[in-house]
Chains A and B, each alone.
Chain A
């Protein structure tokens, strides 16, 4: 019988902003504890929120072994690693004062816009340990500014947003993001042409990677439900396209460096597609074992649930070039808001673009009218893949650039 404990503590102070004014302040401090018992090929779990009576939790977990949930895999053992990415940040009082000042600047410099939503400091402390020598701990803290922006004269619910997330707060960086976005917003421009154009996304935009994420699911590949079922090991995409699962320090995503089964990847990353070749789907212990696939450490679980397969943060490898270099003299369509699009089952992609800017790779030049963009999975990441920028030249973020069909809506 192996006993394993998962503890998650989330602390947060959130300042809610309405009409460019602080409206409320919320504090949160919530601890969730899960106890897992592995015995005879089964797993029993019990969890609690708040105060913990560990012996009672253990009793319930042992009792839950009777539910006979199969888990015939070795839990991770004999590995100790503790990472603490936290940096000095503002105290709660300093934070409130700073946001008051920031909002005062926004009211003065951008009187034609309304800023809403929230600004927060979020801290996480997550550990997984067992009585077979596993002891993993991940601590992180970051400031997240998530402004929803509305032009005062507009009849839309909102018109733009500005997002900043970093372990260290920087008023200057926040203001630069807002300034770059809104200066361009005020300048309506037209497409250089309709048709195939370089389209720029924030590199962590989930929309364009959605189909890859779905089809790289190891269980889907193993059971033959995936489009990629016959393509593992085959080169299906651009030579320069590499996609990997990442829990690297620079990725502020809320993912721990270990997965829910205590698996830690070398360098905190695992390539699923390398230089266009599909290397492996993502897997947890069950999927890897059942379908004889490499274990990629992609188990996820709530504190009181059995770990199951889920995609972690998927990241396109940097092309080692700036956004300007990737655009190579062309103007790009930088997509800030593309809501509601999707891929069809066979991989045809389409989405309306509610807010896009024209960019030369260094700055946002002006705001484009509403557009539609479309493409096809193998082409988008094949001949039409341009790259991922090394610099954060798109609203403070790295950029992903693809050639796509662009039209006015």
Chain B
């Protein structure tokens, strides 16, 4: 298809991206967008440096390859370069969404679906402002390399999101309901869920009181578990943070005990949802990677460059936000595996603690944070009064040991608006979730 320059490694990623977005604000149509863009990202490697170009002129990719090659230095041994040897040569067409292709649904059907939920928010006096959003995204990717990779595959998500602001006698809350899936039909019966979420939020807003700051045992709902896992440990498993860094390699040596005995954390790109990445952006097939297995550090996430550098295997985690960026090491779907307690057992064993049911955001360095949106006190084993909390935090490595209970069911989820951020590449869709987990000694502000 392309004439690749001699004595250099080259790959080309083409993306055909279709987006639908419909937005209503307080019942009035604000956006009704159908967008299709095509773009390409070219990488050339001469054994020392990488040269990248991003272009929307996909009819002239060959010209762009030729121009980029002029910046590089020919290397006769490029094919035996250890990084180049890591690149997989996958070929074929892998279309997962032929049966339920979102492009076959009319914009009108999407619009009517979104409108069908309006009555749930229109007649609520407490909701002062609301926004109903339908959004979908279908991407068809092609990947070609000078080693012979020749791949075509697709990816899609669709979502219904309701965002709303409550003001009840001066007490306010910004909240939302978000259902993101890969199948349009799964967006059709959400009435009960949306209604339940809104009712809960109204009750919460009416009755929530400021929390007494301090250290607590905290139970995270799956959404909080997912964000905690992603932020606190997932990012630390991205191997580009370790390359060439002896301290990190020692600290993160495989086989080291890093958490509670029953703690296992997985990243896997072959799960439908926001983190569905059957092949990554350098053509590597998705692999199931245990980051922690039974409390022991078991693996980390790689691109070909980091895998070669650390003398490990690729994992299918080289991802780019879109065709404007180069692939870097990113998560796909990251979650804690199920434990052995029922949800009820987890709560019943807490004399006084905090239950975090919904969150606004989270972050993770040596200290992780979760900014809860909906949280409650736990008293004598039961969910008690609602409390307002600005942020909960803890030391990541201590917290992994402080997990003393994991429920026996896993819930995975994705968001269509927002995503994971790493340096300039934000937002990247990911999947996350897990079981309910109970963690001791968390700082609550």
Once the chains bind, are B388 and A345 in contact (CB under 8 Å)? yes
CA distance A243 to B419 in the complex (A): 30
Least CB distance from B4 to A in Å reads 18
Least CB distance from B370 to A in Å reads 8
- B216 CB–A CB distance under 8 Å: no
Q: Collect the chain B residues with CB atoms within 8 Å of residue A344's CB.
A: 210, 388-390
User: Residue among A30, A118, A344 with the most chain B CB within 10 A?
Assistant: A344
- A158 CB–B CB distance under 8 Å: yes
Q: Collect the chain A residues with CB atoms within 8 Å of residue B393's CB.
A: 340, 352, 372, 409
Once the chains bind, are B390 and A348 in contact (CB under 8 Å)? yes
Q: Mark B226-260, 1 if CB is under 8 A from A, else 0.
A: 00000000011000110111111001000000000
Which single residue of chain A is at the shortest CB-CB distance from B209?
A346
Once the chains bind, are B423 and A118 in contact (CB under 8 Å)? yes
Majority SS of interface residues in chain B?
strand
Q: Which residues A217-236 have CB closer than 8 A to chain B?
A: 219-220, 223-227, 229
Least CB distance from A29 to B in Å reads 8
Once the chains bind, are A25 and B52 in contact (CB under 8 Å)? yes
Once the chains bind, are B367 and A409 in contact (CB under 8 Å)? yes
Contact of B371 among A155, A157, A341 (CB under 8 A): A341
CA distance A383 to B30 in the complex (A): 40
Q: Which residues B320-335 have CB closer than 8 A to chain A?
A: 324-326
- Interface residues of B, count at CB 8 A: 72
- A313 CB–B CB distance under 8 Å: no
Q: Which residues A113-165 have CB closer than 8 A to chain B?
A: 114, 117-118, 146, 148, 150, 152-158
Once the chains bind, are B39 and A49 in contact (CB under 8 Å)? yes
Q: Collect the chain A residues with CB atoms within 8 Å of residue B391's CB.
A: 340-342, 350-352
State whether A155 and B251 are in contact (beta carbons under 8 Å apart), knowing that A24-B49, A24-B50, A342-B371 are contacts in the complex: yes
Contact of A345 among B26, B53, B171, B443 (CB under 8 A): B171
State whether A118 and B243 are in contact (beta carbons under 8 Å apart), knowing that A26-B52, A49-B37 are contacts in the complex: no
Q: Collect the chain B residues with CB atoms within 8 Å of residue A214's CB.
A: 174
- Interface residues of A, count at CB 8 A: 69
Using a CB–CB cutoff of 8 Å, the interface residues on chain A facing chain B are 16, 18-19, 22-31, 45, 47-51, 64, 67-70, 114, 117-118, 146, 148, 150, 152-158, 214, 219-220, 223-227, 229, 304-306, 308, 337, 339-346, 348-352, 354, 370, 372, 374, 409
Using a CB–CB cutoff of 8 Å, the interface residues on chain B facing chain A are 21, 25-26, 28-33, 35, 37-39, 49-57, 71, 128-129, 165-167, 170-174, 205, 208, 210, 213, 235-236, 240-241, 243-248, 251, 324-326, 360-371, 388-391, 393, 423-424, 443, 445
User: What are 29 A-B pairs at a CB distance below 8 A?
Assistant: A25-B49, A25-B52, A26-B54, A27-B52, A50-B39, A50-B56, A51-B57, A69-B32, A152-B246, A155-B248, A157-B241, A158-B365, A214-B174, A219-B25, A226-B165, A305-B33, A340-B363, A340-B367, A343-B390, A345-B172, A345-B174, A345-B205, A350-B213, A351-B391, A351-B445, A352-B369, A352-B391, A374-B213, A409-B393
